[in-house]
């Protein structure tokens, strides 16, 4: 479980996160939703240690992670997998080398064992026989899946996904969502997903946290999000023409 | 300005740490040897031969007087090539090639979140990405400069042969006259300093890129300009301290 306690963060005069406290539960997909600029990405960067909070702390299973030296954080980092918005695959490496990278860095497995693990992870994300392809030969959906394979290669306890559906078509988005949900439940991972894709919210929103202007505005799940009377959340959910029409026709 | 210098030294401190896995460091180093070193042989060869030839012709043109012995052309060409042309001018050329290559590679990795991905895994990114580049430059640039010196002197000899400014025999006689081995040590000391400046400054600028492709382009230019200026400044300092 990941606990976020009273996190605040400013950049210059701009307050991006204002006293955020929430928990991300294990074995569940924990969504952080909100408009662009609401502070989702900054919150994820604080959780992954890429940005330090001005106040508050993040705890991984009650172990403090924020504002600590890298020597202490490295053990928690080894249990983290991160899926970045653009995939962040290493473009000087092929698919196999990308997925094998965390195994090379943090394990003493033999090459044969590592290759077996790589093939298992690639198979798990429904990619086969692409080991030797370079990253620039992959489609957007394949890149995301390879990034997921890399993120789970070292059997993480925590998986962070920053807008996993950005730039993908609806069909591929749904495949990625389903895959993240399956992996989360199968390996009992604490998964945190930043998104503003309403389809993802409805499909994998086991726990939903809505951020509005840097504050935690609403918490719930995919079952009760459509019935909320929270005005800002409703404006967010029903902001597109499609969702407005669906709401009016229900 | 002071903050930038401080950040530079902090990054250098993070870079010069023991790599966690030597096998991975060795693989990275071999990659950089090829990427930064071996791939530079072509441009170094062409420049060295032609500038060596031009140096010989220029010396001959300026010493066109029976008072000067013909060997002076070989001697002067050798001194120019060893003391200044190969270590300094070739280093400035390499600052253009290697500096932009390092800055744009790291800058692109930064803006595409590849460095963030490494950092999240708990890897010392400065050590993993910049150290192999610095070590590769420190080990390979002296090889390139010695190669450049040899080709520059051959270029001078070829100019003598083709233009008949002096006989190749007198040119070689000049090359062998009044030789002080310290001039080669001086060239290698300068090369080591320049190699460190090029790789560390370009690495620092590329590593700290913020923004997108425009900033990567600017970082690439900045890497070349800053390292070239510092090469010239350190050339003066080293020449003053080591040769006087």
Predicted confidence at residue A53, as pLDDT, reads 92
Please tell me the predicted confidence (pLDDT) of residue A242. Answer: 73
Average predicted confidence (pLDDT) for chain B? 91
Alpha-carbon Rg for chain A in angstroms: 18
Digit-coded pLDDT (tens) for B62-112: 877 777 777 788 899 999 999 999 999 999 999 999 999 999 999 999 999
Q: Which residues contact A35 (CB under 8 A, 6 or more apart)?
A: A196, A212, A236
What CA–CA distance (Å, rounded) separates B165 from B73?
9
Chain A 30-59, residues with CB within 8 Å of chain B CB atoms: 48-50
Closest Cβ opposite residue A50 in set B20, B114, B119? B119
- Is 80 exceeded by the pLDDT of residue A77? yes
Which of A70, A78, A88 lies closest to B117 in CB terms? Answer: A88
SS3 for B109? helix
What pLDDT score does A173 carry? 84
ipTM of the shown complex: 0.83
**Region A65-76: what's the mean pLDDT?**
83
What is the token pair recorded at A142?
A: 């394949």
**In terms of pLDDT, which residue wins out, A234 or B238?**
B238
Stretch (H or E) spanning A57: strand A55-60
Question: Between chains, do B123 and A105 touch, taking CB under 8 Å as contact?
Answer: yes
Q: How close A182 gets to chain B, by Cα (Å)?
A: 23
**Among B14, B113, B122, B216, the residue to mutate for chain A (most A Cβ within 10 A):** B122
Angle in degrees, 0-180, between the axes of helices B71-80 and B131-163, rounded to the nearest 10: 160
- Residue by residue, DSSP assigns B11-73 as HHHHHSS--S-HHHHHHHHHHHIIIIIGGGHHHHHHHHHHHHHHHHHHHHHHT-STTS-THHH
Give chain A positions within 8 Å (CB) of B120. 48-50, 77, 80, 82, 160
Tens of pLDDT, residue by residue over B137-177, are 999 999 999 999 999 999 999 998 888 888 888 888 888 88
| pLDDT mean across residues, chain A | 87
**Shortest Cα–Cα distance, A83 to chain B (Å):** 8
Nearest CA among B6, B177, B7, B147 for reference residue B78 = B177
- pLDDT score, position B22: 87
Tens of pLDDT along B41-65? 999 999 999 999 999 998 888 877 7
C-alpha torsion A64→A68→A71→A72, nearest 10: -20
Chain A CB contacts of B20 below 8 Å: 105
Q: Does the distance separating the beta carbons of B21 and A48 come in below 8 Å? A: no
Rounded to whole angstroms, how far apart are CA atoms A245 and A238?
9
């Amino acid at each position: 479980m990941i606990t976020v306690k009273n996190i605040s963060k400013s950049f210059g005069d701009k307050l991006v996160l204002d006293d955020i406290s929430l928990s991300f539960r294990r074995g569940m997909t924990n969504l952080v939703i909100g408009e662009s600029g609401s502070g989702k990405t900054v919150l994820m960067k604080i959780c992954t240690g890429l940005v330090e909070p001005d106040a508050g702390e993040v705890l991984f299973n009650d172990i403090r992670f924020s504002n600590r030296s890298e020597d202490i954080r490295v053990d928690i980092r080894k249990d983290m997998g991160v899926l970045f918005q653009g995939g962040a695959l290493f473009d000087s490496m092929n698919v196999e080398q990308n997925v094998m990278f965390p195994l090379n860095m943090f394990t003493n497995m033999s090459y044969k064992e590592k290759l077996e693990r790589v093939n298992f992870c690639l198979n798990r994300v429904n990619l086969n026989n692409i080991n030797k392809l370079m990253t620039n030969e992959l489609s957007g959906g394949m890149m995301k899946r390879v990034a997921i394979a890399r993120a789970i290669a070292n059997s993480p306890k925590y998986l962070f996904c920053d807008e996993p559906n950005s730039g993908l078509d609806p069909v591929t988005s749904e495949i990625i969502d389903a895959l993240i949900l399956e992996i989360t439940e199968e390996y009992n991972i604490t998964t945190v997903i930043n998104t503003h894709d309403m389809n993802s919210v409805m499909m994998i929103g086991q726990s939903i946290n809505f951020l509005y202007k840097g504050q935690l505005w609403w918490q719930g799940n995919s079952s009760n999000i459509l019935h909320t009377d929270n005005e800002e959340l409703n404006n967010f959910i029903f902001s597109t023409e499609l969702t407005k029409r669906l709401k009016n026709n229900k | 300005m002071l903050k930038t210098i401080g950040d530079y030294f902090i990054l250098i401190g993070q870079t010069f740490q023991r790599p966690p896995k030597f096998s991975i460091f060795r693989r990275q180093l071999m990659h950089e040897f090829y990427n930064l070193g071996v791939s530079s042989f072509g441009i170094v060869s062409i420049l060295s031969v032609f500038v060596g030839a031009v140096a010989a012709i220029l010396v001959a043109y300026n010493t066109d007087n029976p008072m000067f012995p013909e060997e002076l052309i070989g001697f002067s060409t050798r001194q120019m090539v060893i003391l200044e042309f190969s270590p300094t001018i070739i280093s400035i050329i390499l600052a253009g090639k290697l500096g932009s290559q390092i800055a744009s590679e790291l800058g692109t990795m930064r803006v595409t979140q590849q460095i963030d991905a490494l950092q999240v895994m708990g890897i010392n990114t400065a050590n993993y990405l910049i150290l192999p580049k610095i070590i590769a430059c420190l080990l390979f640039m002296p090889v390139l400069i010695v190669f450049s010196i040899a080709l520059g002197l051959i270029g001078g000899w070829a100019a003598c042969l083709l233009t008949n400014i002096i006989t190749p025999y007198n040119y070689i006689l000049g090359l062998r006259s009044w030789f002080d081995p310290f001039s080669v040590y001086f060239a290698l000391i300068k090369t080591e300093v320049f190699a460190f400046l090029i790789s560390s400054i370009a690495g620092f600028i590329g590593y700290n890129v913020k923004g997108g492709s425009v900033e990567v382009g600017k970082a690439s230019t900045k890497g070349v300009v800053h390292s070239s200026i510092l090469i010239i400044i350190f050339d003066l300092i080293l020449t003053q301290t080591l040769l006087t």
